[in-house]
A and B are shown apart, each in its own frame.
Chain A
Amino acid sequence: MDLLFLFEWLDTSFLADLSKAYGGVFAVIQMFHLLGLSLMGGMIFVSDLRLLGVLLKDVPSETVVENTQKWFSVALAVMILSGVFMSSAVAIKLYYNEMFWAKMTGLFLGIVFVYTVRRPLLRYAHDSISPWALKMTAISSIVIWLTVAACGRWIGFS
């Protein structure tokens, strides 16, 4: 499936008019992308390190996970919205950028993982889940999201 048409559409959209004409607007949106990254990082590290038994050991892991889910989704929404805006400034260039596609693959996997594997699994009482399953879930989550973040940073260098 060739997605070039999507990038051509984005390249000529209203968003691109804004992001290409005003460097300042682009920079401000980019700042929110970074702040969203930080918020997301906090939710990932706190919940996954709790599942690994590193942090907050005196708080039930169900409580920790439950408290991080809403803010994780908020951060993800901020990142996707600001990300689409940033992409509009360099849409065609991104289409031919390998790192961009590495990031999108990771992002897609991450979203599927969080909403169809991690959350449904963690809805059960955590002591009824095999400790290995919990640990693997946490490690997968950390690895996937750090990879997405690193690929994202590398788009700028490549």
Chain B
Amino acid sequence: MYAWIESTHVIVLMLFLGMLFVIDLRMLGLAFTNVPASRIADRLDKPMMIGFVVMVVTGFILYYAIPVRSTQSIWFRMKVVLLIAAGINAIMFRRKMQQATGDWDTDPKPPKRIRIGAGLSLALWSGVVMTGRTIAYDWFDCHKQLSYFTYWAAGCVDEMAAME
């Protein structure tokens, strides 16, 4: 069962991140340059959010299956931080889009502030995927011999207490 949820989590990346990539590439002026930017953002928003909901639901189930190890995973912690950053960026980006009066909507290359937001979005969400994938590796698990700082960052409280 875990394998099915995990596979769904990976396959739906194709929908969620796929739509996000198309929108961000448009905002960077690298794809769909002959289609108005707002139209791409608007029409792909729904499928992207459907994908996002599936990602969140399957993600929670995956966390629920292995809660202690995930909480004490340095990668999981980085992923949560990146998720929050990506979320804040997305909200700011949406606001910028709404404030835009449409003067650049049909420009092949949107203005710089939009391109920065799109670049950040690509980088942050890629970071979420990367740290997410790394949770599976045990390099920095609590039972390993690690530095005090790494134990602290991963929240290995027992190992920290043993060192003091």
Contacts and interface: CB of A to CB of B under 8 A. Distances in A.
Interface of A: 23, 27, 30-31, 34-35, 37-46, 49, 55-56, 58-59, 63-64, 67-68, 70-71, 146, 149-150, 153-154, 157
Q: Dominant SS at the B interface? A: helix
Nearest to B134: A27
A153 B10 contact: yes
B22 A23 contact: no
B92 to A, nearest CB: 22
Contact of B43 (A27, A39, A55, A149): A55
Interface of B: 3, 6-7, 10-11, 13-22, 25, 31-35, 39-40, 43-44, 47, 126, 129-130, 133-134, 137, 139
Identify the interface centre among A23, A35, A68, A157: most chain B CB within 10 Å of its CB.
Answer: A35
Chain A: interface secondary structure?
Answer: helix
B96 to A, nearest CB: 22
Contact of A45 (B14, B34, B40, B43): B14
Contacts of B133: 27, 30-31, 34
A61 B31 CA distance: 15
A44 B129 contact: no
A45 B130 CA distance: 22
Given A42-B14, A44-B14, A153-B10, A27 B19 contact: no
